[in-house]
Amino acid sequence: MASPTSFLSLLSLIAFFLITVSADPDMLQDLCVADLSSGIKVNGFPCKDAANVSSLDFFSQGIANPGLTNNTFGALVTGANVMTIPGLNTLGVSLARIDYAPGGLNPPHTHPRATEVVYVLEGTLDVGFLTTANRLISQSLKKGDVFAFPRGLVHFQKNNGRVPAAVIAAFNSQLPGTQSLGATLFGSTPPVPDEILSQAFQTTPRIVRNIKSKFQPKK
């Protein structure tokens, strides 16, 4: 039988392994402003020369004003991530502003690299996410409310009110990524074969082709 001392040593070794393997690494420098023009491919972006860094690398006014919602879904997401604020590189955070016309929908989608937390600036929203057990967790939100969407789970927001709505969304990733289910499945390039989608959704190839036509780029 193992002694209490060896057992505690084993637990310490396991804990050390979990901490060092599963946790994100700490930053190794004060900042690493993204060099978005670099051809070097890394997990993230290479660092800009520190001598060329300025306050503008950490600044944006991109989400100060409402976005235009005159589109198919009546909603617009405006990102404030590493692509618009290069100073966010390696910091693991970003924001977005989402505006919704009356009746507007941010359709079912996922963020593969981040959990999302929204704060309602104005209006009302019906929101929800789906667990891997196919359970819908939903909530009605009003101005000042906060709601969280776990990383990787399908979620949506719908403005069922008569006035515009808006939220600020926070992410624990510099670039959370977005996969909108409809556009991903029915608007990919090259396209997902009709027979795959018709079997998956228990419908006919003709209906699949009709749905695909709605996700083609507008000319």
The pLDDT value given to residue 202: 97
The pLDDT value given to residue 4: 60
- Measured distance CA(34)–CA(101) in Å, rounded: 34
The pLDDT value given to residue 29: 86
| Positions in the chain short of pLDDT 50 | 18, 20-25
Cβ contacts of residue 189 below 8 Å, gap of 6+?
A: none
- Is residue 71 annotated as involved in ligand binding? no
Whose CA is closest to 158, among 124, 130, 111? 124
The pLDDT value given to residue 1: 53
The pLDDT value given to residue 2: 52
- Measured distance CA(185)–CA(195) in Å, rounded: 12
Domains in the chain, CATH or no CATH each: 50-177 (2.60.120.10), 183-214 (no CATH)
- Is residue 159 annotated as involved in ligand binding? no
The pLDDT value given to residue 18: 47
What's the number of CA atoms in the CB half-sphere (13 Å) around residue 142?
Answer: 0
What's the number of CA atoms in the CB half-sphere (13 Å) around residue 130?
Answer: 10
The pLDDT value given to residue 23: 36
The pLDDT value given to residue 24: 44
The pLDDT value given to residue 43: 84
Tens of pLDDT, residues 181-218: 999 999 999 999 999 999 999 999 999 999 999 998 76
The pLDDT value given to residue 28: 78
Break the chain down into helix, strand, coil percent, rounded to 5: 25, 25, 50
Whose CA is closest to 106, among 134, 136, 126? 126
- Is residue 111 annotated as involved in ligand binding? yes
Q: pTM of the entire structure? A: 0.85
- Is residue 155 annotated as involved in ligand binding? yes
Both tokens of residue 152? 């990787």
- Is residue 122 annotated as involved in ligand binding? no
